[in-house]
Chains A and B, each alone.
Chain A
């Protein structure tokens, strides 16, 4: 697809190298993120969320942790993110727990990144677009405690999509608590929006079907190590066969 090739050349690339000890788990990875959508795939407790945390600049493991995170922008410039505080990494992030601010209603939660953004060039349409994308206009005045798990998760995702100036979008188990039908309707929309904006996405999942549907680049992680990286069809070939066998 020439369109994909074009958008790939326009995307910022990232490289992440992490060594960390989390309890009994030893994380040791070094990979590049070049695709429009990359899925970190692996069982629970394999260190996937910690890799997103490392990109965000949060605390990961003890003092022996080493993290190297670099961004290669479209113009070829290379920035090391390691010295930058989380707030200046131009990252949009939807954590696994919705982590909504309980004192703000859903609408204000979604517009939070827009309100705190320091960039002078920003377009308030981004908030409205995110509310529409996740069908939240009707829920905008509800407090987080009045939302169901799936609704809270949609607010969480919308907030990430409404972050102005993001150069990387990190989604930790984005469809946690969201029903299949909604997920299947959302997936192509999210792909389209991310591609239009030219923002690469990294999502964490242990759901084979989700990874296959996204036709994403898959980085398979087991016990803190990268065991395979490639297209969903090749990396998850065995899982795909197993699902097909069950259905037959």
Chain B
């Protein structure tokens, strides 16, 4: 089995999950209107939130090649953004580990945002209202009421983002190519081995991926059975 590919995959999934939790928390909080007491929102505001939610969910339905294509163009010298990124990093982001992280963040974004949105929305409104009128500011309500009560959703978001990133193929191939040790993840390594008719190695790597995914999902569901919380997104 390709151990370098396994190490790279786990590193990519770990970094991506950390970045995603940081990005997805404020995004989900905004979509779910999770700070302070629930407020009356204008139609424009509601529309903006729904549009953000739809945009976040796009990677669920788009072919990874579409996402990969635009990431490749966006990171390359053909666009102003790409040229700026090259100037900042000193090299094109495409075909590098940071490039893979950026691609994985976008690709797994819905898997981190959706459980958090559901978790935040599941906090009873009267708890937030009561906390607010008893003197808690918007931020305090979020930190001391919404966040602790939605805590299980963070586990759901982290497990889903991690496992989904591990299973990523198309985006990685498009923007990472297939450079051993740098961008060749386990899923791509399996593809290569099948191409070389090396079925035994492909089998081992595949079994490992199945076991990894199964254990992670089992942990999630076992927890969801004990408590009715953010895990319900999968159920």
Chain A interface (Cβ within 8 Å of chain B)? 56-59, 63, 85-87, 89, 91-93, 95, 97, 99, 101-103, 112-113, 116-118, 159-160, 163-165
Contacts and interface: CB of A to CB of B under 8 A. Distances in A.
B131 A101 contact: yes
A89 B145 CA distance: 20
Closest 6 CB pairs of A and B: A113-B134, A86-B132, A116-B136, A86-B133, A99-B130, A56-B133
Given A58-B37, A59-B38, A59-B40, A87 B126 contact: no
B124 interface: yes
A101 B144 CA distance: 9
B126 A99 contact: yes
Interface of B: 36-40, 124, 126-127, 129-138, 140-141, 144-145, 148-149
A99 B125 CA distance: 9
Given A99-B127, A103-B149, A85 B135 contact: no
Given A89-B133, A118-B137, A159-B134, A95 B38 contact: no
B39 A163 contact: no
B140 A56 contact: no
Contacts of B140: 87, 116
Contacts of A86: 36-37, 129, 132-133
A87 B136 contact: yes
Given A59-B39, A59-B40, A103-B148, A95 B130 contact: yes
Nearest to B140: A116
Contacts of B36: 85-87
Contacts of A91: 133
A123 B218 CA distance: 49
Contacts of A56: 129, 133
Contacts of A85: 36-37, 132, 137-138
Contact of A99 (B39, B124, B135): B124
Nearest to A56: B133
Nearest to B37: A86
Contacts of A92: 133-134
A116 B134 contact: yes
Nearest to B130: A99
A116 B37 contact: no
Contacts of A102: 149
Contacts of A112: 131, 134, 136, 144
Contacts of A159: 134
A145 B130 CA distance: 18
Contacts of B148: 103
12 contacts: A58-B38, A58-B129, A63-B40, A85-B132, A87-B135, A89-B133, A95-B126, A99-B129, A116-B131, A116-B140, A163-B134, A165-B135
Interface centre among B38, B39, B135 (most CB of A within 10 A): B135
A164 B135 CA distance: 9
B147 to A, nearest CB: 10
A9 B137 CA distance: 31
A116 B130 contact: no
B37 A101 contact: no
